[in-house]
Amino acid sequence: MKIISWNVNSIRAREPLVEKLIQKENPDILCLQELKTEDKNIIDNFFKLHGYENISVTQKAYNGVAIGYKNQNTIRTIDLDNLNTLQARNNCILIENKKTVILNCYFPNGNPIGTDKFELKTNWMEAMLEHLKELKREYNVIITGDFNVIPHDLDAHDIKKYKNDALVSKEARKFFFSYKNLDLIDPFEFQDKVSTYTFFDYKTYKFGKNEGIRIDFFLISPYLFKNIKSTRVLKEYRDMERPSDHCPILLELDI
């Protein structure tokens, strides 16, 4: 099973790149974040054109997530309502014959600290923790997406630039490690940090200087970790015409 996760930063702007990704990698499951459209027809038509079924939650001009899937005959959606009460940020599927749940997430950014945006971030992360606790009792778990957290100082080219940023706040990091303490494993954690940056700001050509941060993740159950075939950050899509500021990340499992 090949799974790709990507914050596309507007499906309208990035549709040609997502099409290239599908043609080259042919993922079984494609998790997209930051769709930036409320028109579900755009999402449905795109996935249908490429042979996928999908679920999505959308919001005008902001947020929005979708999971496209194929070659999976026993899919059931799980509605985690409170994660989408204010903004469209999560969807979840259960692959019943593999007893595996996939949560696709666009975590709140939270900046600036001390505002209602930061309160939304911490409340959302706490709600996600409770859902993960519940789901892990019964299923293998894959949670993926743009976490908007820099867990370790080494996950940034220059952590000093983020000293007052919600992405490195003690609260955001606490929740991230709380997820890992549920026995979820970050498969990219064991790779060279510079090679696993997933976000490069558009300003001053950060990608060309390899001045990035790692904020896009897969966290997976131990059974799934034992069955990894490959993992990659697909940086070539950050170097294409009109790219997202995020790179796709790939997880391939032998299940």
pLDDT for 43-99, tens place per residue? 999 999 999 999 999 999 999 999 999 987 799 999 997 999 999 999 999 999 999
| Mean pLDDT lowest among 88-92, 156-160, 204-208 | 204-208
Confidence of residue 204 (pLDDT cuts 50, 70, 90): confident
The pLDDT of residue 129: 98
- Domain range for 33 is 2-253
Residue ranges of alpha helices (H) inside the chain are 11-25, 40-49, 116-136, 170-180, 222-225
Strand positions, DSSP E, the chain: 2-7, 29-33, 53-57, 65-69, 75-77, 90-95, 100-106, 140-146, 216-220, 228-233, 249-253
Confidence of residue 166 (pLDDT cuts 50, 70, 90): very high
Give the whole-number percent of the chain exceeding pLDDT 70. Answer: 100
Contact 5, 104 (CB under 8 A): yes
Total tally of structural domains belonging to the chain: 1
Return phi, psi of residue 61, to 5°. 70, -15
Distance CA 150, CA 148 (A): 7
Angle CA 151–79–19, to nearest 5: 70
Residue 184 sits in a domain whose CATH number is 3.60.10.10
Q: What mean pLDDT is predicted for residues 111-136?
A: 98
Q: Which of 33, 21, 68 is nearest to 215 (CA)?
A: 33
The pLDDT of residue 44: 97
